[in-house]
Amino acid sequence: MRPQAPLVETDDVVLHFPVSGGGPLGLSRRFVKALNGVSLTVRPGETVGLVGESGSGKSTLGRALLGLEPITSGHVVFDGTSVSAGKRQDLARLRRETAMVFQDPLNALNPRLTAGEAIAEVLRVHRKVPKDEIAGRVDELLTLVGLGPSLARRKPQALSGGQCQRVGIARALAIEPKLIVADECVAALDVSIQGQIINLFIDLKDRMKLTVVFIAHDLAIVRRLCDRVAVMYLGRIVEEGPTEKVFSSPRHPYTAALIESIPEIDPDIPLPEAPMQGEPPSPMNLPPGCAFHPRCPHARQQCRADPPPELRRRDDHGWACILEPGDLPRPQTADRLHPAPHLQSPQGEHP
Ligand SMILES: Nc1ncnc2c1ncn2[C@@H]1O[C@H](COP(=O)(O)OP(=O)(O)OP(=O)(O)O)[C@@H](O)[C@H]1O
Ligand SMILES: [Mg+2]
């Protein structure tokens, strides 16, 4: 099978946020180095997970993919067209063909509109269907996300968190987007509801061949949902590949440490001994060499002195480290990433 053309591709994307301050007059410009050369490919129909500690640049990358954040250098190509120049017609196209699902479902919805009206609004603004077909399409979309028609008349305050998120997903689907970026879209929900929303994503991606970039802290969720995963550290992708390979045999010590740091649910088993020491360095003042070296148990002189390693690729599994595949032991906690009970197959969803 020929590999499909990418739907979205970033090439060496750098995104530095200017921040004021510093210097005797507070005039010198400093930068938060949020993205430092990110190259990522997302193919049609794929669900790609973005993981990494807080501040690693996941949301910034998600926003850059959607043209919501101007990049400092590099390229973002969407469906064959470079959109990084910020041309109005390119951005308009991105608006028409992409959608975002947000973390806080209640706040993402207009409190004055009912669920049905919130979905109808998207259909109207994007001129998706003729006026007289809007009501019918709203019903279809509600059904698609597992909400009964009676909920269409409720305002967000009268819906549960999970129901609000289903409305948010229906609004995203109303656009018929080529790409959805979901940024921590289940993090604010109860654990049992998280499972239902993940199952909804799994169902939708099978039925509608959705292309999704799924940003999440929870590695078990990413393992359940995503075909591929990219691990970010201080604005770089340090490892990328098929989810199963990355989680079962990580090639970057940062990925291994992330997996090792998954909390043990069984209270009789002691927590892993601080697999990852310290905090990430400041994104305003990145260390020389590999940015992970101050925390890396495998760091050598060249990791401190040489430029950060490029992503190397073997067997569709990329890693940015001097270690060779097999140098790292299989993480003891990798099995813990198998679906926890709340993430197992769909059953008895209540609308
Ligand atoms: N508008 C902004 N101005 C200045 N700095 C910013 C801005 N947005 C993000 N940053 C900084 O850029 C870095 C990356 O932030 P980002 O929100 O992308 O991280 P993240 O991986 O999504 O983190 P989290 O898991 O906490 O959501 C952080 O250091 C953040 O403080
Ligand atoms: Mg974020």
65: nearest Cα among 143, 5, 136, 9: 9
Spacing, Cα 76 to ligand 2 middle (Å): 19
- In the sheet that holds 312-314, the strands lie side by side as 98-101, 179-183, 212-215, 47-51, 228-233, 236-242, 317-319, 312-314
CA dist., res. 66 & res. 96, Å (int): 11
CA dist., res. 260 & res. 286, Å (int): 24
At 47 the pLDDT is 97
Q: Are 319 and 312 in contact (CB under 8 A)?
A: yes
**pLDDT at residue 213 greater than cutoff 90:** yes
Q: Are 137 and 128 in contact (CB under 8 A)?
A: yes
Residue 182, strand partner residues: 101, 214
**pLDDT at residue 348 greater than cutoff 90:** no
Inter-CA distances, 60 with 84, 156, 168, 174, 215, Å = 14, 28, 20, 24, 11
For residue 15 and ligand 1, the question of a CB distance below 6 A is answered with no
Amino acid identity, position 245:
K
For residue 196 and ligand 1, the question of a CB distance below 6 A is answered with no
Ligand 1 atom showing the smallest separation from residue 50 Cα: 21
**pLDDT at residue 70 greater than cutoff 50:** yes
**pLDDT at residue 351 greater than cutoff 50:** no
Q: What's the average model confidence in pLDDT over 61-88?
A: 93
Which of 3 and 226 is assigned the larger pLDDT? 226
For residue 216 and ligand 1, the question of a CB distance below 6 A is answered with no
Q: Are 18 and 31 in contact (CB under 8 A)?
A: yes
Q: Which two three-digit tokens encode residue 168?
A: 């948010």
At 344 the pLDDT is 59
Q: Which two three-digit tokens encode residue 57?
A: 């640049």
- Nearest-CA residue for ligand 1 atom 2 is 17
Name the least confident of 73-82, 193-202, 310-319, 334-343. Answer: 334-343
- Nearest-CA residue for ligand 1 atom 29 is 55
For residue 37 and ligand 1, the question of a CB distance below 6 A is answered with no
At 341 the pLDDT is 53
Confidence of residue 264 (pLDDT cuts 50, 70, 90): low
Q: Please, which residues have CB less than 5 A from ligand 2, an ion?
A: 59
CA dist., res. 57 & res. 36, Å (int): 9
Q: Are 185 and 101 in contact (CB under 8 A)?
A: yes
72: nearest Cα among 235, 308, 216: 235
Ligand 1 atom showing the smallest separation from residue 69 Cα: 1
At 217 the pLDDT is 86
For residue 285 and ligand 1, the question of a CB distance below 6 A is answered with no
Which of 23 and 125 is assigned the larger pLDDT? 125
At 262 the pLDDT is 76
**Beta strands per DSSP E along 227-335:** 228-233, 236-242, 312-314, 317-319
- Nearest-CA residue for ligand 1 atom 17 is 59
CA dist., res. 143 & res. 3, Å (int): 34
At 347 the pLDDT is 46
Q: Under DSSP, is residue 80 helix (H, G, I), strand (E, B) or coil? A: coil
At 349 the pLDDT is 43
Ligand 1 atom showing the smallest separation from residue 215 Cα: 22
Q: Which two three-digit tokens encode residue 294?
A: 């101050």
Spacing, Cα 240 to ligand 1 middle (Å): 21
- Nearest-CA residue for ligand 1 atom 8 is 60
At 106 the pLDDT is 84
221: nearest Cα among 191, 246, 255: 191
- Nearest-CA residue for ligand 1 atom 31 is 55
Ligand 1 atom showing the smallest separation from residue 217 Cα: 25
For residue 60 and ligand 1, the question of a CB distance below 6 A is answered with yes
Question: Residue 44: what are its φ and ψ, rounded to 5°?
Answer: -60, 135
With vertex at residue 279, the alpha carbon angle to CA 227 and CA 55, rounded to the nearest 5 degrees, is 50
- Nearest-CA residue for ligand 1 atom 26 is 54
Q: Are 72 and 15 in contact (CB under 8 A)?
A: yes
Q: Which two three-digit tokens encode residue 58?
A: 């996941």
Mind listing the pLDDT tens digit for each residue in 306-331? 988 999 999 999 999 999 998 998 88
Mean pLDDT across the chain: 89
For residue 103 and ligand 1, the question of a CB distance below 6 A is answered with no
At 192 the pLDDT is 86
- Share above pLDDT 70 across residues of the chain, in percent, rounded to a whole number: 89
With vertex at residue 34, the alpha carbon angle to CA 89 and CA 23, rounded to the nearest 5 degrees, is 110
CA dist., res. 31 & res. 247, Å (int): 33
At 260 the pLDDT is 86
Nearest ligand for residue 51 CA? 1
Q: What's the average model confidence in pLDDT over 112-136?
A: 96
Spacing, Cα 183 to ligand 2 middle (Å): 7
Q: What's the residue count for the chain?
A: 351
Confidence of residue 350 (pLDDT cuts 50, 70, 90): very low
Q: Which two three-digit tokens encode residue 224?
A: 């359940």
